Structures are given as C-alpha cells and as structure tokens.
Amino acid sequence: MAEMISLSPGAPETPSLPRGQTGAEYDELTRSPRVSRRESVIPDLHEAGRERANEGDVSILVGGTTSTPRPPMAPPATDIAEPSKSQELQKLIPDAPVGSVALRKPGSYVVAMGNKFGILNWKDQSVTTVAHVDQDKPNNRFNDGKVDPEGRFFAGTMAQELQPAVVERRQGSLFVLLPDHSVTKYFNQIDISNGLDWSLDHKTFFYIDSLSYSVDAFDYDLKTANISNRRSLYRLEKEECIPDGMCIDAEGKLWVACYNGGRVIRIDPETGKNIQTVKLPVDKTTSCCFGGKDYSEMYVTSASDGMDDQWTARQPQSGGIFKITGLGVKGIPPYAFAG
C-alpha cells in the first residue's frame, strides 16, 4: 500500500508514519509575485565554470504566464530567473514562451522555448537560436525537457493551451538536440509532452504525455540514443489527476507531479506501483526536482492559471515553489548539455 504524507496549508505538519519512515515538511519559497504557471526547475551546479551549491537555492526558475493581465489567448509572457551573488533575483525575458532550461557544460544554459532550441548566455543576457522545430505548426511550443547522461537535450512540444490542460490533440512531438546542434525527431501525435528521465543504469527512458494519464517506459540505448519498446509503467488513479513533470531519485524511483492532484507521487519502476504520496496545499502541482547541497531537498513548482477568485482565496499559495525536506531519499545531479 502506498505511503501517504499529507501537508496542510499553514504551519508545516509532520504526520505519523510507519516505523522506519521519515516525515516530510515543506516550505513555500516564492509567494510574490504569484505566477500562473511554473513548468521547470533545476539545481545549478556551476557559475562561470565554478561549482556552486548554496543551501536551499534553486538557481534556475522558469516561469510561465505571469499574473499581468493580457488579452485572451495572447502568447504567455515567460521569464528565466536566477539569484545573483547578492541573492537578488535577476530576470531575462526571452521573445518566446520558455518550456525548459538545462545546464550546459561550457558554463551557460540550453533552452527550449517557443518552437526553437537556443543557447542562453547569462552574462550578456543573450539567447542564440541554434535550431527550429515544428515550423509547419505555428501554434506549437516547447514544454518540458531534460538532458540525458550523454549530454543530449530532449524536449517535447505541444499546441498552445486553449485553457489549462486543454489543447488541440496530437500536435506535439518529442525531439532531441544533439551536441552538434542537429535535431532528431523521435515520434509525433503527442498531446502534452511532459516529464522525462532515465533509469540509473541508463537502459530505460521514462516519459509522460500528460493526457495519456500514464508514465511510459522505453528501452534506451545510451550510445545511439535509440528508444524502443514503449509500454505503460503506471496509470494514474482518478484522484491523482494529470501527470506533469517528473524526476528520479538515487534509489531509482520516479517522482511525478500531479497537475490538479495537489501532490507528488513516488513510483517504483520495478513493480509499477505508487509507493509514496506527498500532498501539498495547492492543486496545480506542475514539476519537481531534487536540490540542496546533498540533493536531499525536493523542489515542487505549481501553477495558478485557470483559477477563479474563490479557488485562489482557498489556495493563495498557488503559483509558488515549495521545498520539501525529510523525505529520507536523495536525488542525483542533473546532466549538462554537451554542445
């Protein structure tokens, strides 16, 4: 039976757990300004080539639509942010919606935004486009992405949302940006390309197309980046709602943020079962990753888009980023793009 940890709004609560289990607590890291969607968060391991691991820091935050009013169906305003050495938040606002950002070995970042891959140089605030995708689908944009153990940047697309989690179906594709900046498309007919990660032995690729309500697995060839033998690893229960972002821990278990489910769940890939649930005080949990000095802290992003005044009043922390401690498990360092 899955372990349940429920965290209520207000003061963090450490629930009673079976013997040998540790409790979990959360802190809300960001409350103002509240954003309507945050989709990606990664710990930063370098700054100008130097390792950096400030306690409790999440160095790259990717916001979605801001709380600034805009005409209906206008492209969302997006930002990339990182704390400076003085701990003041610095922002770069690109010219397209940001789906995901990843570390890059030479000391900058790789970004998937709009329908293009780019290289972000934080020092001069520039983004250099290196490749375009889905040019025959102007309504498409990148969503979640992540770097594989060999330094390739995987990211998938989706149609612009008509409303939260409502899109024109089967418009997206999964792509990989190779170190030489060439692009390979793996497959199409995707609704909302979302969470992805690799097993600790690098032989399995895990992937989420949100509206399939499934976490899927593929056989993975690390040398060639070939994926094959797709199968469903775990189908979400009704109360878990929509699978969104995903990460893997040091024990090889998957953590999935459940959009509209107000939780992250821990899945055992060996059994295909949910073995732990951590509830948060917001419904629209969107993504998760491990960070901190020893990767023992989990960071969970959330959204507030589509919420009416009553819902917002009930869950004022929506759109914030949460830090969860006391899980009793650690994450692994993120891989950096090799190009």
Average pLDDT over residues 273-285: 97
pLDDT single digits (tens) 151-181: 999 999 999 998 888 999 999 999 999 999 9
Per-state percent for the chain, helix, strand, coil, to nearest 5: 5, 50, 50
pLDDT at residue number 86: 58
Mean pLDDT of the chain: 82
pLDDT at residue number 61: 36
Listed range (8-12, 96-100, 329-333) with the worst mean pLDDT: 8-12
Is the preceding peptide bond at 269 cis, omega within 30 degrees of 0?
A: no
Average pLDDT over residues 184-196: 98
The yes-or-no verdict on residue 23 having pLDDT over 70 is no
In a 3-state reduction of DSSP, which class is residue 40? strand
Q: Tell me the residue type at 290.
A: F
pLDDT at residue number 1: 44
The yes-or-no verdict on residue 21 having pLDDT over 50 is no
pLDDT single digits (tens) 65-94: 222 222 223 333 356 666 555 567 778 888
pLDDT at residue number 8: 33
pLDDT at residue number 237: 98
pLDDT single digits (tens) 228-251: 999 999 999 999 999 999 999 999
Structure tokens at 174: 């999964």
In a 3-state reduction of DSSP, which class is residue 156? strand
According to DSSP, the β-strands at 214-221 and 226-235 are antiparallel
Cβ atoms of residues 165 and 192 within 8 Å = yes
Q: Which residues are catalytic?
A: 244
Cβ atoms of residues 62 and 78 within 8 Å = yes
According to DSSP, the β-strands at 3-5 and 273-279 are parallel
What does the angle CA 111 – CA 256 – CA 9 come to, to the nearest 5 degrees? 105
pLDDT single digits (tens) 302-321: 999 999 999 999 999 999 99
pLDDT single digits (tens) 283-309: 999 999 999 999 999 999 999 999 999
Give percent of the chain above pLDDT 90: 68
pLDDT at residue number 6: 37
Enumerate the H helices of 185-291 as residue ranges: none
pLDDT at residue number 79: 61
Query: 3-325 sits in which CATH class?
Result: mainly beta
If we measure between CA atoms, which residue out of 256, 198, 201 comes closest to residue 227? 198
pLDDT at residue number 206: 99
pLDDT at residue number 75: 35
26 - beta bridge partners?
324
Where do the domains of the chain lie?
Answer: 3-325
Cβ atoms of residues 283 and 261 within 8 Å = yes
Query: What is the dihedral sign for C-alpha 220, 105, 65, 97?
Result: negative
If we measure between CA atoms, which residue out of 299, 334, 302, 329 comes closest to residue 58? 299
The yes-or-no verdict on residue 25 having pLDDT over 80 is no
C-alpha 286/C-alpha 143 separation (Å) is: 12
pLDDT single digits (tens) 108-154: 999 999 999 999 998 888 999 999 999 999 999 999 999 999 999 99
Cβ atoms of residues 227 and 241 within 8 Å = no
